[in-house]
Structure 1
């Protein structure tokens, strides 16, 4: 069972927590998505632009003049994409946001439609996927103001142990908060800063955990939560004190 869940973590999910969506003010939308043959086919690109404008982002199409701030530094913006999951007799779409290094910062749940008409099917599945943004609670916090050129900016250092972030021998009851997101939770510390994301599975007490480039499972044992993954071929189990 453990090995099966870990395989899911490594091969199904590629989401990272490099930065929070709230760190970004701008979103750039392409004029054409890869799964469609024409620019703005079925108004998909226009719908995407309107979606992010609705939730408070400043949005620009890739083929229009970009603000100098983005033109000089792509890391000031997130880049939107819509992905189609191929399925028989069902249209499935999800919306994702990537940073300037092509790392996924956020992705929605999969929207589905069984409509036979392509225009209706794509619109319906897109709108269903877009419902994930209702729980995102986006609010720009200025956290990306110091973003630099990706060639000059070193990779952010990931914490090696979850519990090492704040553990204090005099206060062993340090805990982290679980905030709802699409398909699961984001785990934040007291700053607050996102340190991990948890994605729901079919088991209520088992989550797929993503921490930077590390992927594993978060499970309960004897009433306590643990993040488990493989490091150099060995199973590592780290305790993490979460409050949901």
Structure 2
């Protein structure tokens, strides 16, 4: 069998076997919100970055909305049902480099992809290429919106918080208000039931309503162009898993959410068998840098560090003869 076909076949088998164990970081979120303009672009939907992001998420079954358009009622009531899809641009003179990261209602990053790189010269295609490579990780997630998880995200409307105010706190507020009122004596007993803050009329609207008005007003702006059929996607679509090799071994690097796992596809070393898990890569706070548990050629495992270089090669530090050496794996494209 052709070596490339072997790699693709093994990739499919591994993904179907392990996809159910991937961490589904996006299950609590019902909506993906796409900004109409990213900071690194000069105008809305430049190079079709925004509309292509929407297209990618919709293709994977996510419910998407442009930021500021008519939000559904449940999203207006609970903004934490939505997660904002952001793009970070770290491009150099000759290479387009982007990340996709998702922010929740508290501006906390809940998911971040690895870098997607492209050297396509056409600006209308290079971002499409790079975003496709980023999106490989998101495609590997077995997304299934879970309302039960959404309830545990910590969001509470202000009205509910006021209603749950303890009676002693409400009574204290009532007592303090009588002291400020000159018509009521300090020694006069306050008669009648204590009225809690939740029962009293409020002149201030709930913040969610303010957000709703702001979202509706933004409709006056020029809408983003209708979705197009992206023929370029066929040209730049990424493989289901990334493959790497050196002189003696080839393996597939499969995304499992919070970590990556390396499975042998071909080997000239009898200590590494096809299909064997030889490495687990745990993400760190630094982009493209990982803590690795790597199988030694002879016996045991080595806890070490790995990183991707500018060319996309995977470099792993190993201890040999008392010195740190680097073994390099070239990505198979």
TM bracket, shorter-chain basis: 0.5 to 0.7
Shift of the 28–56 alpha-carbon distance from structure 1 to 2, 3 Å rule, reads: same
Aligned partners of 1:146 and 1:200: how far apart in 2? 30
Larger Rg: 2
Shift of the 70–120 alpha-carbon distance from structure 1 to 2, 3 Å rule, reads: same
Q: How do residues 146-185 of structure 1 correspond to structure 2 at under 5 angstroms?
A: 146-149=152-155, 184-185=255-256
The number of residues matched between the two structures is 169
Unaligned runs of 5+ residues in structure 1 are 1-17, 153-179, 187-196, 227-244
Aligned partners of 1:115 and 1:81: how far apart in 2? 22
Using the TM superposition, name which of 109-118 and 217-226 deviates more: 217-226
Deviation at residue 199 of structure 1 after TM alignment: 5.2
CA RMSD for the aligned pairs?
3.7
Aligned partners of 2:81 and 2:302: how far apart in 1? 36
Aligned partners of 1:130 and 1:56: how far apart in 2? 13
1:25 partnered with 2:30: yes
**Residue 207 of structure 1: aligned partner:** 281
Q: Greater helix share, 1 or 2?
A: 2
- Normalising to structure 2: TM-score of the pair? 0.43
Aligned partners of 1:56 and 1:225: how far apart in 2? 40
- In 2, are the aligned partners of 1:109 and 1:183 still within 8 Å (CA)? no
Unaligned runs of 5+ residues in structure 2 are 1-22, 159-240, 242-252, 263-277, 304-333
Shift of the 224–117 alpha-carbon distance from structure 1 to 2, 3 Å rule, reads: closer
Residue from 40, 46, 52 that aligns with 1:41: 46
- Normalising to structure 1: TM-score of the pair? 0.57
